[in-house]
Each structure stands twice: as C-alpha cells, then as structure tokens.
A and B are shown apart, each in its own frame.
Chain A
C-alpha cells in the first residue's frame, strides 16, 4: 500500500501534467484553486487521472469537497482502504 507521501507525490505529478504547476509546489496544505490556480475544469482532469492512477472512484459530488491537496490525498487513502 502506498504511503501518504507517495500518494501526494503521484498526485503532484498529475497536477503538473494537467495544469503545468511545478510538482514541488503541490504540498498538503495548498488549496487547489487559491494557491495552485487549478480551476474547476482542470480539477476534473486531475480527478479523472487520479481515478486511473490510484484505482479509485471520485464522484462529481465529492470533487467540490477536495479543497486542498491534503483533502484529496486523504480521500484517496480512504477510498483505497475502503
């Protein structure tokens, strides 16, 4: 099972690929919209790529609750363990 930091690092690569944000900036306390400039459409792309990468389902209704990188990492960990 991947560690929390491995999930964050993989997610950072996805955010980098979709939105061109340096992967090092994608830290747990960062807000996708306010700090990283990931808008709602890019967020959809990030979510779809994360679903494939981590083999989880992230429904549209959940996406709005994933405000920070930490929220997304925690959701992915729960979904993988659930």
Chain B
C-alpha cells in the first residue's frame, strides 16, 4: 500500500507582526446626528463613540488591506515573498468574486500565495487567526497574513437610529508564523444561527433586484438583544478561553474585545470581573465599529500608545452576526 507523504509543521505559532490602516475621513457625531434626529451627547452615552473613520473613494477594501498588510509584513521583519497564504475577513467587499484576498496577495508581491476570503462578520479576524495558527502548526503554510477589513459606510443606512452612528471603515492585519514557544492559544469559537435575524444584511440580493427601485441592502441590528448576548454570553466565552489556555484573568495584560459598543465593553469587563491591571482596548471612541477590522486596529493603537507591550498576554474576543464568535489568547508581537 502506498502511503501519502506529509510535511511537518512548526511546533508553535505566534503573531509576528501587526499593521493598521485608518481611512482619512474623520466623521464627528455632529455629522451623523441630523439624519437620525439625535445628538452628540446621546450617541456618546449610548455607545461611547465620539467620532468614526469613513473611507473616501480611493480607500477601497483592497487599498486599505494592502496598506495595513505592508505594515504588518514590515513589523514581522519578513519579505512579501515569504507570505504563502492570505486570509481576508470581510463582509463589505462588494465585488463578490473573485476573493479580494487574491488581488491583495498579488499587489503585495507575494509569490502566488494561496488567498481566500472568509465570512464571519465581526468575528472574522479571530476566525482567521485560528485558521492561520493551525496552518502554521500543520505545515500547510509558513507565514500567513490575516487581514480584517471593512467599508461598512457603504452598507450603513444613515437614517437608521440603531446603526447609523456605529459602523465605520478600516483595515488591520497580522502576520502569523512559526515560533519557539506558543504565541496563539487554543480558539474557543461557535455560532448560533437560530438568532441570525439579530444582525443581518436586510435583504437577499435577489429580493433587492425584484424591487421597483433597487437600493443597497443595508445592515440591520436589534440592539438590545445583541447587547444582552454580547455582554453576558460572551463574557462566559472569554472565561472559557482563559481556561483553555491554562491562564487566569490575573495573568492577562491586555483585553481586546471586538469594538462593538463601549457599553458592551464595559459590561463585559464588569461581568468578567477583570483585575484593575488589565488594559482594556477602547479604540471605538475614535474609530467606530469596524467589524472584522476592529480587533487588529484596537490592538495596534494600544501598541502605538504603549498600553500593550511586546510579549504581553492579550485576550482577543470577536463576536457578531451569525451569531458567530471566536476568541483566543495571544502574545503581543
């Protein structure tokens, strides 16, 4: 009997570099309040958001991704040609086929790296990190580029009081590669499709085209049930993630939850009883909710500002439409 050969992987995988791209348009609350008959005070009280970043016409999903990826590749100290897989987590690349990852891999100058997109909405980046770590350990790839990117401004109904002030644009990227010791802990992930109505694209594209005046099917969300699920159910997932990595909240340096809403971040931290020394990501105040991009953007800001340092243990937890979620403990590169 002929046996199929196999290739060894690295014993451990780690995040080797991090990059971010924040689009150029800074949109203060004052610019979104008229369409939703609201106020700066109400938005800040409801979400902690002071301003958000929206992309201009040149800042496409591909352009923002390439910019963030170049930063991450340089931070990792490798060449683009060493990247052998590109995973892009996004729900807002409106050219559905081919995967934007293929064009990003080409523009970066990889050597025909494997490239594909994944759809896990706000949980996308942590899904990508889990895949990348397993690929490196399984010998499938040596350096995997994971990108979380969104242009949610294209999919936002500016007249919807529930979402108009929340969603934003941007890109974050990480290089995952081989390491001498564990740098990415086991993922805790899952989904609850029974609750798919809570956050969704409003209509199927086929239904849009049947309308007399077709218009963009915006993202819609039921805020209070999502708040309940995210604040309390996800706090339990966060604890399970620490347990699976064999650490406690005391060992943690940094907490980077998906930047959905400052109220969710605060409620999660309260519910988890996080020790006071743990630094909590609060990028949402300046950046808005960028779905798949929010975790790498938030971590990048903490590294820039010095609240997260190389070697720190960070708990990443991402959650959103689906209701899909994924979480892991990582070492800050």
- B-contacting residues of A (Cβ < 8 Å)? 39-41, 44-45, 47-48, 60, 63
Contact = CB atoms under 8 A, between A and B. Distances in A.
Contacts of A47: 228
Which of the listed residues A40, A45, A47, A48 has the most CB atoms from chain B within 10 Å of its own CB? Answer: A45
Nearest to B47: A41
Nearest to A40: B224
A65 B223 CA distance: 17
B267 A45 contact: yes
A40 B267 CA distance: 14
B46 A39 contact: yes
Contact of A44 (B45, B46, B224): B224
A27 B9 CA distance: 64
Given A39-B46, A41-B223, A60-B228, 19 more contacts: A39-B45, A40-B223, A40-B224, A41-B46, A41-B224, A41-B227, A41-B263, A44-B224, A44-B227, A44-B228, A45-B231, A45-B267, A47-B228, A48-B228, A48-B231, A48-B232, A60-B224, A60-B225, A63-B224
Nearest to A60: B225
Contacts of A39: 45-46
Contacts of B263: 41
A41 B227 CA distance: 7
Contacts of A40: 223-224
B194 to A, nearest CB: 14
Nearest to A64: B224
A41 B262 CA distance: 11
A47 B228 CA distance: 9
Contacts of B231: 44-45, 48
A42 to B, nearest CB: 8
A48 B46 CA distance: 18
A66 B45 CA distance: 22
Contacts of A45: 231, 267
A47 B225 CA distance: 12
A39 B43 CA distance: 12
A45 B267 CA distance: 8
A81 B46 CA distance: 35
Contacts of A44: 224, 227-228, 231
A19 to B, nearest CB: 11
Contacts of B225: 60
A18 to B, nearest CB: 8
Contacts of B46: 39, 41
21 contacts: A39-B45, A39-B46, A40-B223, A40-B224, A41-B46, A41-B223, A41-B224, A41-B227, A41-B263, A44-B224, A44-B227, A44-B228, A44-B231, A45-B267, A47-B228, A48-B228, A48-B231, A48-B232, A60-B224, A60-B228, A63-B224
Nearest to A63: B224
Contacts of B45: 39
Interface string B216-228: 0000000111011
Contacts of B223: 40-41
A45 B230 CA distance: 11
A35 B168 CA distance: 34
Contacts of B232: 48
B16 to A, nearest CB: 38
A44 B266 CA distance: 13
